[in-house]
Amino acid sequence: MKTESKHRPLLDDVLAEAAPADFERALLDCTLRAVRRRRRMHHWNRGLAVVGVFAAIALVVWKALLPGTPVKVIRPALGMVSSRPLPPSMIITTRPGSVAVVASSPKTFVLVETGSIMDPFKEIDDEQLLALAAGHPAALVRQGPHQAELLFLNPEDTNGFPVQ
C-alpha cells in the first residue's frame, strides 16, 4: 500500500479549486461502471468457452457412438487365370547353319554409275534426217507446225537399213 506523501494535501488543494464539486463522484462512478462492464464480459467469455467445450465433447461422443450410414462396398468378382505350356509345334527355334550367307568381293560385281545429263539426245533438223536416208527414196510429210512423218517409198526400207 502507498504511503501518504507530504505533498498530497497541496495537490488536493490545487485540484479542488480547478475541478467541479461533483468531479470525484463522477470519476468514481465512471470507473466503477467500467470495472463492472469488464467483469460482465469476462463472465460471458468464460460461459461461452464452457458451452463450446461441452458442444465439442458432445459432437465427438455422438460421432463415436452413432455410426453413420454404412456404405456398401461391392467387390469385383475374381477371375481365374490358368496357364499351361505351349505345344512343341508352336515354339520357334533357330539352328546354326540354317541360313545361307552370301559373301561378295569387289571382283564379283560391276559398279554402274548414273548421272543426270542435261539433254541426252541431239535433235536433228529435216536436212540431217534426209541425209541419213541417202540412197533410199524417202519423203517427209508435215502434218502440223511441229509434227512430221518420214515415209519410205520401198517397203523393204521400212524394217531398217544400214546407215553409212
Domain boundaries, the chain: 8-65, 124-156
**150, amino acid identity:** L
Buried b (16+ CB within 10 A) or exposed e, 7-43: eeeeeeeeeeeeeeeeeeeeeeeeeeeeeeeeeeeee
Q: Which residues pair with 149 in a beta bridge?
A: 141
pLDDT digits 0-9 by tens, 5-49 = 666 777 677 666 666 768 778 888 999 999 999 999 999 999 999
pLDDT > 60? residue 1? no
Other C-beta atoms closer than 10 Å to the C-beta of 70 total: 6
Whole-number pLDDT of residue 43: 95
Whole-number pLDDT of residue 48: 95
Q: Which three cell numbers stand for residue 67?
A: 455410426
Using 50, 70 and 90 to split pLDDT, how confident is the model at 62?
Answer: confident
Is 60 in a helix, a strand, or coil? helix
**C-alpha separations of 156 from 128, 140, 151, 160, 161 in Å:** 22, 18, 12, 8, 8
Whole-number pLDDT of residue 114: 78
CA pair distance 133, 149, nearest whole angstrom: 13
Whole-number pLDDT of residue 34: 94
Whole-number pLDDT of residue 126: 86
pLDDT digits 0-9 by tens, 107-162 = 777 777 777 777 777 888 888 888 888 888 888 888 888 888 888 888 888 887 77
Using 50, 70 and 90 to split pLDDT, how confident is the model at 51?
Answer: very high
Answer with the residue of higher pLDDT: 161 or 63: 63
Buried b (16+ CB within 10 A) or exposed e, 53-64: eeeeeeeeeeee
Answer with the residue of higher pLDDT: 76 or 41: 41
Its pTM stands at: 0.30
